[in-house]
Amino acid sequence: MSFYRHHVFFCTNQREPDCVCCGLANASALRDYFKQKVKALKLEGIRINSAGCLNRCALGPVIVVYPEAVWYRYATVDDLDEILHEHLIHGRPVERLKLPD
């Protein structure tokens, strides 16, 4: 069994100002929001981390949830709340936000 039930990596990579990247999409602040939400809900076994470039910049901002290796694109805190409640709490991946393999 894994130490964490879910490990969520937020790409927060910042590139040059004219390049598409997750960092330009406010990814660090949204990661902080998500991390605080997990803490406020007292959810154990869920780890939220920043990641360098995950090489899906054009589709971003992106996160990947392990151990399932489900990749998501999100745009709002509502998207993140849906991922939190549906995937991390209830075990149901959010199909509308999933990235193609």
A 10 A CB-CB count for 28 gives 15
27 burial type by CB count under 10 A (0-12 exposed, 13-18 middle, 19+ buried): buried
- For 50, the enclosing helix (H) or strand (E) is strand 46-51
**Is there a domain that residue 88 lies in?**
yes
**Is there a domain that residue 57 lies in?**
yes
pTM beyond cutoff 0.75: yes
**Is there a domain that residue 55 lies in?**
yes
What pLDDT score was predicted for residue 24? Answer: 74
**Is there a domain that residue 1 lies in?**
no
Indicate which CATH number applies to the domain containing 82: 3.40.30.10
| Residue 88 Cα distances to 33, 54, 59, 64, angstroms | 15, 21, 22, 12
DSSP state at residue 60: -
Task: Pinpoint the alpha helices (H) of the chain.
Answer: 27-40, 77-82
Domain span at 78: 6-97
- Total domain count, the chain: 1
**Is there a domain that residue 68 lies in?**
yes
Determine which of 9-13, 45-49, 54-58 has the lowest per-residue pLDDT on average. Answer: 54-58
Six-digit token string for 98:
């999933």
